Amino acid sequence: MPLGGGNKCGCCKKTVYFAEEVQCEGQSFHKSCFLCMVCRKNLDSTTVAVHQDEIYCKSCYGKKYGPKGYGFGGGAGTLSMDTGEALGIKPAGQTSHRLTNNPNPSKFAQKLGGSDVCPRCGNAVYAAEKVVGGGNSWHKSCFRCAKCGKSLESTTLADKDGEIYCKGCYAKNFGPKGFGFGQGAGALAHAQ
């Protein structure tokens, strides 16, 4: 602790005494100086965001240093026309978008082009609708028993010859047959 009673404030550079000290990132601040550099809101340990030696509230920090562009709105479905000039951000000039004829598409584009094919309907299966079972990729809506149409889960299916069945239909159609191999809970059936 330097002579004069305490550390120097990271904002006003005056002495900070213990009773009024707030510490952040190894620096000391007066409680009254611990404010966002942009909007001047009071900060605490849950609302502070630090960039180099500057302190911000999380909202102003996000506007100044966070991601920019389409899809990075101000939250809760808002559309903001704020360019950030008040935060010291220089608005970028409008750039026109143009199509390219790139002969080497990205791995992402190659993956989309080469997606799995659903064995039930024959259409492409994309990640958002993909269910894996029986060694194949299926659409969620196609992931049903081939006999009764019951919706399946990976734990409730049995597969045969590339087709999927619920355990009940699989047992009826492909299980052992004859006297003593009933169709369910204690039933006796005589197979002809």
Structural domains in the chain, CATH included, are 35-87 (no CATH), 130-174 (2.10.110.10)
H or E segment at 7? strand 7-8
Alpha helices in the chain (DSSP H): 58-65, 107-113, 167-174
pLDDT 10s digits, 131-176: 888 778 888 888 889 889 888 887 788 888 888 888 888 888 887 7
Question: Tell me, what's the pLDDT at 101?
Answer: 47
Q: Of residues 100 and 130, which shows the higher confidence score?
A: 130
Q: Exposure pattern of 140-179 as b/e (b: 16+ CB <10 Å)?
A: eebbbbbeeeeebeeeebbeeeeebbbebbbeeeeeeeee
Is residue 59 predicted with pLDDT exceeding 50? yes
CA distances from 192 to 10, 32, 45 (A): 92, 92, 78
pLDDT 10s digits, 77-108: 455 556 666 666 665 554 444 444 444 444 44
Average of per-residue pLDDT across 44-69: 83
What does pTM read for this prediction?
A: 0.37
Is residue 66 predicted with pLDDT exceeding 80? no
DSSP string, 86-99: GGTPPPPPP-----
The region of weakest confidence among 27-41, 110-124, 132-146 is 110-124
Question: Tell me, what's the pLDDT at 184?
Answer: 54
- Taking alpha carbons only, the member of 69, 65, 61, 13 closest to residue 37 is 61
Question: Tell me, what's the pLDDT at 82?
Answer: 60
User: What's the mean per-residue pLDDT of the chain?
Assistant: 74
